[in-house]
Structure 1
Amino acid sequence: MGVELGIIEGFFGRPYSWEERAGMVRALAPAGYGFYLYAPKADAYLRRRWREPHPSEEMAALAQFAGVCRGAGVRFGVGLSPYELFLDFDGAAKDALGEKLAAFDALGLDDLGVFFDDMKGDLPDLAARQVEIVHWIAERSAASRLIVAPSYYTDDPVLDRVFGARPDGYLDDLGAGLDPAIQIMWTGEEVCSREYSPGHLARVAGILRRKPFLWDNYPVNDGPRMSLRLHLRAFTGRPAAIGDHLAGHAVNTASQAVLSRVPCLTLAESYRAGEAYGYAAAFRAAAIEVLGADFAHAVETNLGWLQDVGLGGFDDARREALRTRFAAFDHPAAREIIDWLGGGYAITGEELQTQ
């Protein structure tokens, strides 16, 4: 395939169940998905309450999931977002962080993500502070791979508007300061990039002094606007040639775990087929594999309503017609569509502020 594929559960809103995570690992491992990073924004013990230990039942579930990953030959990882740690990396913070790392090590962690994304970052010495934290973690974590998400993980100026203007030379300083063995994540020219080119990725690699580890925000559909749509179509804009310019390719999946398998399978096919890739045929084959032929046909014929128009664009009559159509299928993905039609996956701006 040329590049390591994997899943990052890194979205806002309702996280997956443990059964859904296990199902995704088992379904996608045969297609070449070799790692799973557990990092839902809704897990407060990874983010705003990171200083507190996870409840024992959650740690037990994580340990069991780690076993599922190992059984499927998939690397197990956790993404820790130590919220605003770089504002005060003192003795108390180090003690709490050390305890968190020890708990993760007990799980048999393969990958540890240190994520500084989606928090205020307009500090002149931000890169130096983060380098210090990451190297401190690297000396204490037993994970065999460390992956950092920068505060400014894209060229997209939306981050500067929301989290403050990025410090001058931030990415260059971060790349120069971090040990070359540590991976750095990147979402592309936008937060949700439409496409990636070898030229763009080569430029970013020069800044970071290493190949970027891609955090691909498709088919993710969190947020007040995106949660109104189901991202089901096949991957496009990811030519196989980008694989040579990447350290890894992580897919941030949609809130619907089973439906997400459809586009994920098409990405694997895109890398496999190279220039022979056809996105429509890839979608059809993946949908049949995940959903079965009849259900796949129903989804394909309604893609315009599900992905393009979305919940805000049709009336109650259309909503009921879609509900009736998909209720005919006894399948977990059909239940995801019905739940979505009823607003079960809607995300408010308030949720984004509190997760």
Structure 2
Amino acid sequence: MTVELGIIEGYYGRPWSWAVRAETVSFLAPYGYGFYLYAPKADPFLRRRWQEDHPRDMADGLAALAAHCRGAGVRFGVGLSPYEIYRDFNADAKEALARKLAFFDALGVDDLAILFDDMEGSQPDLAEAQVAVVDWAASRTRASRIVMCPSYYTDDPVLDRLFGRRPEGYLRKLGELLDPAIGIFWTGEEVCSREYSPGHLARVGEELRRKPFLWDNYPVNDGPRMSPFLHLRAFTGRPASIAPWIAAHGVNPALQPVLTRIPALTLAESYRLGADYQYGKAFETAASAVLGADFAARLRRDLILLQDVGLDQLGESAAHLRGKYGAIDHPAAHEIVAWLDGAWRITEDVMRAQ
């Protein structure tokens, strides 16, 4: 069964350049990545300052990326996080939202995502209030697909600790009240799920009254705990048997755009091969496609250091790795060197600012 794959640029930290975004679209499209959702936490005009217009240079960059996606046959979307708009969806909020939707329409967005993650969510009528916002936006956008992210987008209790206890029956109410044509993002049993199973996805689909739209938080490596590690290994825990239970599969990429292509290719391979998928072999094939055979072989030997040991525990190995990858003239090698130099480190202050 074919699964719609895509990139959800939804990480904290240093944003990709417009050129890198376009290159990522072009590279992954032949492997079945059919949508690109622009929703970086670093874009304040989609988040805390969402009521303000994007500056001209950013608007031009978005327009160019939308055009590039159309030329590549890839759906282009934008994720808007209208900060706690559901607490007081008044006339001013509606006016600002209408203006933002008109801007997205002018870009020619195919997908509109309304995102309520990372917001206070303990109010009793949360589902009803959020559905009212999504329905209002749905009636005023020309996007052909709409997806919303709930405030509680996983079973993981960490969200209850951070944003307040989830209201009783929240997911079921969303499923009952939200137009069946509108998708709902889901990250799984955890914020960063180790695996997805047909049983779990069937249960969530029954609650939501629709197949969940996966927001897969691998290989993303933002945040203080994850940014000291490079997530390079092939996908595991995403068997092809989950395909009938999901609406689509979006990947939140790593901070390193070229390196992220390696695991991204393995996910496509997992769905293609089904029960014949071998994650070790898939890594070798994908790494060779992205890096070339020699570079891929070197990277394979260093996987434990880069993905398991991590930046803070490398010790003397850091200098050795820097010398090795500093001698390679390849964008992925440049990303490894920058990571070794701390350029990709994400702190709590960075996350709070975004």
Same topology, TM > 0.5 = yes
* TM-score (norm: length of structure 2): 0.99
- The amino acid that maps onto 2:34 is G
CA–CA distance in structure 1, aligned partners of residues 106 and 57 of structure 2: 14
**Which residue of structure 1 aligns with residue 341 of structure 2?**
342
**Deviation by residue 1:275-323 (Cα, 9 ceiling, x = unmatched):** 00000000000000000111111110000000001011121x2111000
Displacement of 1:153: 0.2
**Which residue of structure 2 aligns with residue 101 of structure 1?**
101
Matched, 1:323 2:296: no
- What fraction of aligned residue pairs are identical, expressed as a percent? 64
CA–CA distance in structure 2, aligned partners of residues 54 and 87 of structure 1: 24
CA–CA distance in structure 1, aligned partners of residues 88 and 129 of structure 2: 10
Where does structure 1 lack aligned partners over 5 or more consecutive residues?
none
CA–CA distance in structure 1, aligned partners of residues 6 and 30 of structure 2: 12
Where does structure 2 lack aligned partners over 5 or more consecutive residues?
none
* TM-score (norm: length of structure 1): 0.99
**Which residue of structure 2 aligns with residue 155 of structure 1?**
155
Conserved 8 A contact 1:81-1:114: yes
CA–CA distance in structure 1, aligned partners of residues 352 and 177 of structure 2: 31
CA–CA distance in structure 2, aligned partners of residues 188 and 249 of structure 1: 12
**Which residue of structure 2 aligns with residue 30 of structure 1?**
30
CA–CA distance in structure 1, aligned partners of residues 267 and 137 of structure 2: 33
Matched, 1:199 2:199: yes
Superposed counterparts of 1:176-187, under 5 Å: 176-187=176-187
Displacement of 1:2: 1.6
Displacement of 1:87: 1.4
Displacement of 1:86: 1.0
**Deviation by residue 1:46-71 (Cα, 9 ceiling, x = unmatched):** 00000000011111110111111011
**Deviation by residue 1:106-153 (Cα, 9 ceiling, x = unmatched):** 001100000000111111011000000000000000000001000000
Matched, 1:241 2:241: yes
Cα RMSD over matched residues?
Answer: 0.6
**Deviation by residue 1:139-172 (Cα, 9 ceiling, x = unmatched):** 0000000010000000000000011100111111
Conserved 8 A contact 1:2-1:244: no
CA–CA distance in structure 1, aligned partners of residues 158 and 117 of structure 2: 13
Displacement of 1:328: 1.7
Displacement of 1:242: 0.4
CA–CA distance in structure 2, aligned partners of residues 132 and 354 of structure 1: 28
CA–CA distance in structure 1, aligned partners of residues 208 and 230 of structure 2: 33
**Which residue of structure 2 aligns with residue 21 of structure 1?**
21
Matched, 1:284 2:318: no
**Deviation by residue 1:251-289 (Cα, 9 ceiling, x = unmatched):** 000000000000000000000000000000000000000
CA–CA distance in structure 1, aligned partners of residues 42 and 121 of structure 2: 21
CA–CA distance in structure 2, aligned partners of residues 341 and 202 of structure 1: 42
- The amino acid that maps onto 2:329 is D
The total of aligned residue pairs comes to 354
**Deviation by residue 1:15-68 (Cα, 9 ceiling, x = unmatched):** 111111011100000000000000000100000000000011111110111111
